């Protein structure tokens, strides 16, 4: 996930692009999405397992890679936002409506330096982290 013209916000899309060029096991699809919220629901339906890569700003060291399981998002923060809904709410909404939502959702988040400047390049720590994430995702989906 991400935005291709907001510097480090494009890291997820970059990783997906690179993954596409590798050999992946059968049944693994690589998708790129530039939106979040309710539109996520439509993208995730029908899959058993989903691995998401995205940028993060949380005060960590630039380039740090954090792994979340979808259950890590639950508890408390389900406010109505001014503009969208989050991953966890989308998942729960899908389940509530009886849709076939993935039971296994993993997120690899890369701590970004800059997600506000219009640019198509990643900053060096994030570009470096992207390499690590590519390997992590491949391992996660059982690629050799």
Partner 1 sequence: MKKVTVDPITRLEGHGKIEIFVNDAGEVANVYFQIPELRGFERFCVGRPVEELARITPRICGVCPEAHHMAASKAIDAVYGVTPAPTGVKLRELLYNTFFVTDHATHFYVLAGPDFVVGPTADPAERNILGVIHKVGLETGGAVIKARAEAAELISIIGGKQIHPVCGLPGGVSKALSAEERDRAVEITASHVEFAKFSLQLFDDIVLGNNDYVDLIKSDAFTHSTYYMGLVDDNNHVNFYDGKVRVTGPDGAELLKFEGKDYLEHLAEHVEPYSYLVYPYLKAVGWKGFVDGKDSGVYRASPLSRLNAADGMATPLAQAEYERYFSTLGGKPVHATLATHWARLVEMLYAAERAHELATDPDIINPDVRTLPTGIVGEGVGVVEAPRGTLYHHYKTDDQGMVTNVNLIVGTTNNNASISMSLKKAAEGLIKGGTEIGEGTLNMIEMAFRAYDPCFGCATHALPGEMPLEVTVKKERTQEVVTTVRRYL
- In sequence order, the 6+-apart residues with CB closer than 8 A to the CB of 120 are 4, 5, 10
The DSSP symbol for 56 reads E
Minimum distance from CB of 144 to partner 1 (Å)? 29
Question: Whose Cβ is closer to partner 1: residue 125's or residue 143's?
Answer: 125
For partner 1, the binding residues (CB under 8 A) are 2-6, 9, 33-42, 54-58, 68, 73, 76-89, 92-93, 96-99, 107, 109, 115-119
Closest CA relative to residue 15, chosen from 126, 143, 144:
126
Cβ nearer to partner 1, comparing 25 with 31: 31
Nearest distance in Å: CB 128, partner 1: 20
Dist CA 9 CA 128 (whole Å): 14
């Amino acid at each position: 996930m991400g935005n291709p013209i907001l510097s480090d916000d494009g890291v997820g899309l970059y990783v997906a692009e690179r993954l596409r060029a590798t050999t992946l096991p059968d049944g693994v699809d690589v998708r790129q999405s530039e939106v979040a919220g309710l539109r996520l629901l439509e993208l995730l339906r029908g899959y058993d397992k989903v691995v998401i890569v995205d940028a993060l700003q949380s005060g960590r060291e630039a380039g740090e890679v954090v792994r979340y399981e979808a259950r890590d998002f639950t508890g408390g923060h389900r406010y109505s936002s001014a503009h969208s809904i989050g991953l966890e709410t989308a998942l729960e909404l899908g389940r509530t409506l009886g849709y076939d939502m993935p039971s296994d959702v993993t997120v690899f988040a890369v701590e970004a330096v800059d997600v506000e400047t219009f640019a198509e390049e990643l900053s060096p720590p994030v570009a470096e982290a992207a390499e690590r994430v590519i390997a992590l995702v491949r391992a996660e989906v059982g690629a050799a």
